[in-house]
Amino acid sequence: MQSAKRQQTRTISVHKFGGAALANAQAIENVVKLLARTSGMRVIVTSALAGVTDVLLSVARAAAAGDLARAHADASVLHERHLRVIELTDANDVHLRRFIDESFEQLAALLVTAAHEQTLSARMSDAIISRGERIAAQIVACALRVTGVSAKVVDAAEFLQTDGRFSDAAPDLARTEIFASPLFSPILARGEIAVVPGFIGAGIDNSIVTLGRGGSDLTATVLARVLAASEVTLWKDVRGFLTADPRIVPEARIVAQLDPREASELSYYGAKVLHPRALIPLTLGTTLRIRPFADPDAAGTEIAHGRSVAGSPVRAISAMTAQALVTVAGNGMLGVPGIAARTFGALANGNISVSLISQASSEHSICFTVPEHAAAAAETQLRAAFATELERGEIDSVEVLMGVATVAVVGVGMARTPGTAARVLGSIADAQVNVIAIAQGSSERNISFVVNGESVPCAVRAIHATFRLDKVGGGRTVRRHGADVILMGCGRIGQELLNQIEALPLQEKSVMRIVAVIDTTGFIFQSRGLSANRLKAIAAGKKRGGSIKEISGAHIGSPLDAVRHLAAYALTRPVLVDVSSGDTREPLLSAITNGIDLVIANKIPLAIDSASARAILRDARTNGRQILHEATVGAGLPIIDTAEKLIASGDRILSILACPSGTMGYLFSELGRGRKFSDALRGAMKLGYTEPDPREDLSGSDVARKAIILGRMLGYEGELQNVAVESLVPSTLRAVSLKDFIAQLRTLDDAWTQRVEVASAKGDVLRYCASVTRASVRVGLLSVPRSSSLGSLSGTDNQFVFTTTRYRENSLVISGPGAGPAVTAAGVLNDLLRVVAS
Ligand code: ADP
Ligand code: ASP
Ligand code: MG
């Protein structure tokens, strides 16, 4: 019977269109065009239009949480969207319109019930989200009919029988076949196309269930199985099954052929391109293809039993985030049979599915991962199951570590290739990612390990590079362009930088796009780049004293959260620009390990302590990252660059004597012109040359930070607290209020006038300087000859005097404007353009 049927229906093909293929009216028309190129008996499976399932879920949650007004409002936006789509296609027919209107009326009624019930049951959730697919199927069928192709919708609830489990139902293949054959045979025999809403099925007692997120893939393979189709094609927004998630690894390549066992392990371990259970129904005679709807001629990936698996032992890498690692440990477990069985029995009782299991050979502990949301339930089940052992101390603990991820490295060729595991683990060790637990299936098709969630991109990229997966398979998948800029800090310098970037000639501006702006409260991110208008609005908000988290569309979180979030996206040549004034060591280190280059104007992370500064510079080097920080010293003047070039060319810098503060420069050039100290300082404040509290400048701490950054370039090993700093704030005025400080400024005038006169009598002037050598870093007041280069400095200009083995008699002097947002931003921009061009 089976073979007769196969004979008869061998030309049946199933085509599934994912949400991305049905994003809008134009996409739907493309689907119709694409189908016009196919022939034979065809069954179409549709997802909901792009993003619709997510919206329906959030609408359902809002209703259940009591916010019925929001739920109705969002539902009506969705209603409008569907109506607009059909208006823009030719599928604008009254029946279809009525179907959509009625669906949303029913949805509104369900929302009222959900609000009444006050919780969102899985049954209610499934009833609500099933609408997305059902409407999409009607739209596609109608769009086909208007082009003269006869198409008929077959609702999945009429044939796709399941175990009835809400939100994650498993199809019952045998029963589904009984219902499906009589429904489809006549339609296909008439040459009509059958259109089926994916993702949904029949539960027990006529309820609607869903097959888990991404479930329309499974609908397609179930249909292929029960109708004995020869081919099933999943039309997606990617060019095929790739060697890794392209959002993490931009170099990911297409895997032309995959064994179903490989594809199944990859999707089970998080490769989002395929529903994890979609391969179960696939029989020997059916080929599954993943193909790009945007390029219907491309072959994509072919998944079929018995395909050759030559080539790299590793085919692809996937990762599953939001996992928890549960460890059951204790000496009493040693050699006691049945502990593992009881552990997993307890979890099965709680309906919790375990994904990775690892047991040390000492049998001292068992650990396994479960989805984070199931961790609490797992712990409760285990504590109950081992209550006696825990009490007797035979089991010491049941521990849960949240926020981990499982990375799976998959390939049937690994079984034949010794040393693969060592190479995998070696590459992630080199990337300085810590492995928390490892498991290798006995089939040797899969090496899985658990890492901290945030290390996933780094680990996946490292393995991808080690096995040269970017050289395997079917060609490039992404076009490269310029660089993606992440702006950390949006104060005076950040705002000025944005203006300067906007003012660049188009050719230079077009090589970069600003994808994120971060402050201490949150971040705004747009992977395709923030528009000039959006950036203007952000800068204006910051200028008014607001913070990022208050801006609509912002994510709330620390700068470290922001970097971790961004790192998970496939940004092109990401560059983090630190123009903030906080302690950014953590986000900078995280950026480095995540493959992000750095441009730094913020002195704190490089000045604060030598170990951190070394770590940032060393990690950047070992990770092959660029790090430019010219603007930390002397704003846009080429100070760091000069020092680096001198050192690189074999010269030795013996000392640097510098006036690196515009504020101090102004103050002392005014004093030199006979102005009173109190008067000159007030003038500096009025001109905006000082911090709001000028004591921050007068204390010398800003100069000390610049000095230590220079010192470390010369090999100075001390800390900031070892720097001798002469503060110009008398100890009696350090603790008083700003107002009192200003009020008492006059009391300082006589002493300053006297000091200036003493210097002047010698032909000298006073300068506030940093004096830097390998052995010492000092910051304070110096009396220098009026005729020297430091003596002739005026206004807010900076000066740096390098004495080196080559420039010993005549020092190398760099001076020029060294303060203020405009020149600092120009220094940052210069660094940024250098990174982009490299
Ligand atoms: P559909 O439109 O059919 O629902 P999905 O959105 O579920 O398609 O799957 C495609 C997405 O899967 C891609 O956009 C890509 O971001 C992601 N993805 C994750 N891992 C991989 C991988 N290894 N190969 C291809 N795509 C992947
Ligand atoms: N629309 C459902 C989802 O977003 C099913 C699918 O697309 O396969 O998960
Ligand atoms: Mg999907």
pLDDT tens column, 363-380: 678 889 999 999 999 999
Torsion of CA 787, 788, 791, 797, to 10 degrees: 120
CB contact set of 702 (below 8 Å; sequence gap of 6+):
603, 661, 663, 696
Least confident range from 174-183, 327-336, 600-609, 640-649: namely 327-336
SS (H, E, C) 14-33: EEEECHHHHCCHHHHHHHHH
What integer pLDDT is reported at residue 442 of this predicted model? 56
The closest-lying atom of ligand 2 relative to the alpha carbon of residue 212 is: 9
Give the pLDDT mean for 668-690: 91
Give the pLDDT mean for 84-111: 94
Give the DSSP H/E element, type plus range, for residue 235.
strand 231-236
Contact 489, 579 (CB under 8 A): yes
Degrees (nearest 5) of the Cα angle 500, 504, 508?
130
pLDDT in tens, 474-524: 443 333 457 899 999 999 899 999 999 998 887 778 788 999 999 999 999
Rg of the chain over Cα atoms, rounded to whole angstroms, equals: 33
Instruction: Give the integer Cα–Cα distance in Å for 398 and 405.
Output: 19
Contact 138, 96 (CB under 8 A): yes
CB contact set of 185 (below 8 Å; sequence gap of 6+):
none
Instruction: Give the integer Cα–Cα distance in Å for 390 and 395.
Output: 5
Catalytic: 509?
Answer: no
Least confident range from 352-361, 468-477, 541-550, 670-679: namely 468-477
Give the pLDDT mean for 681-686: 91
Query: DSSP secondary-structure letter at 746?
Result: G
* Closest to 595 in 3D by CA, of 757, 459, 399, 773: 459
Instruction: Give the integer Cα–Cα distance in Å for 681 and 149.
Output: 83
Residue with the nearest Cα to atom 5 of ligand 1? Answer: 273
Token output for 375: 């961790």
Pocket of ligand 1 (CB under 6 A): 18-20, 47, 214, 234, 236-238, 241-242, 244-247, 271-273, 316
The closest-lying atom of ligand 2 relative to the alpha carbon of residue 54 is: 4
Neighbours of 435 (CB within 10 A): 16
Q: How far is the CA of 244 from the centre of ligand 1 (A)?
A: 10
* Closest to 462 in 3D by CA, of 566, 356, 314, 597: 314
Ligand nearest the Cα of residue 272 is 1
* Closest to 602 in 3D by CA, of 490, 679, 475: 490
Sheet of strand 483-488: strand arrangement: 555-556, 522-525, 512-518, 483-488, 574-578, 597-600, 627-628
Terminal Cα-to-Cα distance of the chain (whole angstroms): 66
Looking at the predicted structure, is the pLDDT value of residue 410 above 70? yes
Q: How far is the CA of 277 from the centre of ligand 2 (A)?
A: 14
Ligand nearest the Cα of residue 21 is 1
Give the pLDDT mean for 617-636: 86
Query: DSSP secondary-structure letter at 242?
Result: B
Q: How far is the CA of 160 from the centre of ligand 2 (A)?
A: 16
Residues in the chain: 838
216 lines ligand 2 (CB under 6 A): yes
pLDDT in tens, 133-160: 999 999 999 999 999 999 999 999 999 9
Backbone angles phi, psi at 400, to 5 degrees: -125, 125
What integer pLDDT is reported at residue 378 of this predicted model? 95
Count of helices and strands (H, E) across the chain: 29, 29
Ligand nearest the Cα of residue 477 is 1
How far CA 253 is from CA of 249, 316, 409, in Å, comes to 9, 9, 15
The closest-lying atom of ligand 2 relative to the alpha carbon of residue 215 is: 8
Give the pLDDT mean for 752-762: 95
Q: Which residue has the tokens 């959002």?
A: 247
Give the DSSP H/E element, type plus range, for residue 465.
helix 456-466
